[in-house]
């Protein structure tokens, strides 16, 4: 089941819906991510202690425009540089972020049959959403609502 959730969370270059709350607009999200990326690039972390310094520069509840202060952009992809896939399985978000959070859409998706999951994944692909649009629509459950209405 976790594998299927990973697929859902990784569509459209990844969902960042759980990396904030009450997103305001795509432009404001981009603004915060540009600022975070600049701070990250200025620090240029290479060892765990430096990544933790980057993480701890802001309180977990410091969410300008609803966006986590740890989200950055590199090579056109938005991601968290603290994620365990980037640190040999060590989760540098632990104790700082809601690492076990699942949005309503992911919770519903987990209960579905594989056939319904495939339909939803195809539905999402047909939307041709940007990463930010996808994340916002996953976070506010509007993709789920639209899919359920059509199916």
Domain total of the chain = 2
Q: What confidence tens digit (pLDDT) does each residue in 107-134 have?
A: 999 899 999 999 999 999 999 999 889 9
11 token code pair: 């569509």
What whole-number distance in Å separates Cα of residue 59 and Cα of residue 65?
15
Secondary structure of 16-72 in HEC code, one letter for each residue: CCCCECCCCCHHHHHHHHHHHHHHHHHHCCCCHHHHHHHHCCCCCCCCHHHECCCCE
Q: How many residues does the chain have?
A: 151
Kindly state whether residues 43 and 108 are assigned to the same domain.
no
Statement to judge: residues 41 and 88 lie in one domain: yes
Range of the domain at 65: 23-99
Whether 76 and 107 map to the same domain: the answer is no
CA–CA gap between residue 57 and residue 144 (Å, rounded): 35
**Residue at 73 is within a domain:** yes
Q: Give φ, ψ of 103 to 5 degrees.
A: -70, 165
Q: List Cβ neighbours of 25 (8 Å cut-off, separation of 6 or more).
A: 65
Segment 37-62, tens digit of pLDDT? 999 999 999 999 999 999 999 999 88
What's the sign of the alpha-carbon dihedral 113, 85, 81, 69?
A: positive
Query: Looking at residues 136-147, what average pLDDT do you find?
Result: 93
Give the tens place of pLDDT for each residue, 54-97.
999 999 988 899 899 999 998 888 889 998 888 998 999 999 98
Q: How many helices (H) and strands (E) does the chain have?
A: 7, 2
First-to-final CA distance of the chain:
22
In terms of pLDDT, which residue wins out, 105 or 6? 105
Is 49 in the same domain as 90?
yes
CB-based contact 56:48 (threshold 8 Å): no
């Amino acid at each position: 089941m976790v594998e299927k959730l990973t697929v859902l969370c990784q569509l459209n270059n990844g969902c960042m819906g759980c990396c904030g709350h009450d997103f305001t607009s795509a432009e404001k999200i981009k603004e915060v991510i540009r600022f975070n990326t600049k701070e990250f690039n200025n620090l240029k972390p290479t060892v765990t202690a430096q990544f933790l310094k980057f993480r701890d520069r802001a309180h977990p509840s410091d969410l300008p425009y609803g966006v986590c202060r740890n989200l950055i952009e590199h090579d056109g992809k938005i991601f968290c540089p603290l994620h365990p896939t980037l640190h040999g399985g060590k989760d540098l978000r632990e104790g700082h972020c809601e690492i076990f959070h699942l949005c309503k859409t992911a919770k519903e998706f987990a209960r579905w049959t594989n056939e319904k999951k495939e339909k939803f994944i195809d539905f999402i692909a047909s939307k041709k959403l940007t990463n930010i649009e996808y994340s916002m629509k996953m976070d506010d459950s509007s993709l789920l609502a639209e899919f359920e209405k059509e199916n």
